Amino acid sequence: MTVPAFGLGTFRLKDQAVIDSVRNALDVGYRAIDTAQIYGNEAEVGRAIAESGVPRDDIHLTTKIWISEFKRDALLASLQGSLKKLRTDRVELTLIHWPSPDDAVPMEEYLPALAEAKAQGLTREIGISNFTIAQTRRAIGILGAAEIATNQVEIHPYLQNRLLVPFLQEQGIHVTAYMSLAYGEVIKDPVIQAIAGRHQATPAQVALAWALQQGLAVIPSSTRRENLASNLEAARLHLTDEDLAQIATLDRGHRLANPDGIAPAWD
């Protein structure tokens, strides 16, 4: 198994909006869908997949375990609950959504529980999300780097994570970037817009291509069919060294996902 380079994110999408987004995404060619327990939309995602006509085996489905479910038995039961909502007997990838705040549940408890979920066939691969370098080192010590399919973290031109990304790549851990468009902020950037103009591309395509050319996976979300199709075209866009150098200057440590009481001490 490998983490697909391009998928659909479903954060903040609810009810009919997420059903339509998943249906449209699958219809225009997406084959990877990312959800999470805390998103409150697993049932709708499962319904959209089931009604899409796309064979389940053709879809790479990711969900994430919320911090309230980290005790061993709770983790396994919660993932089984997620599978029921998603109308499937297994997902391709299950992530720990955030490290346990203040180590309330030790990593030495919830990561082996996640590995047990894999051993039971509830998930084909396992991984982490929002883990710092130190936390990833600890996870490697528990699971081994080869068992960690990805670390899913916020990455966009305004937050380039220049310490974490090289570390993960050196360890052979795939990097999945979320919030690749920074809630639309980066597509308004003059530098991004100028690069888009040179390539006859959209600013969103430029931001996504920037991540893809670094070997990152991306999971942008959209409720509009035309944007879903347009974003997918980013995989065909090749940015020049000059383009990449200009985007490198945009890094300003602008972090959007930083929930109080949950977020770790970032690198």
Is 199 annotated in a binding site? The answer is no
Q: Which of 136, 66, 139, 153 is nearest to 101 (CA)?
A: 66
Q: CB-based contacts of 143: which residues, under 8 Å, 6+ apart?
A: 111, 112, 115, 126
Q: Is 39 a catalytic residue?
A: yes
Per-residue exposure over 253-267, b if at least 16 CB sit within 10 Å of its own CB, e if not: eeeeeeeeeeebebe
- Please list the residues that pair with 257 across neighbouring strands: none
* Phi, psi dihedral angles at 42 (to 5 degrees): -60, -40
- Selecting among 39, 110, 158, 178, the annotated active-site residue is 39
Listed in sequence order, the residues at least 6 apart from 246 whose beta carbon sits closer than 8 Å to its beta carbon are: 191, 195
Residues 177 and 113: their CA atoms lie apart, in Å, by 25
Indicate the annotated binding residues for substrate.
97
Residues forming the active site: 39
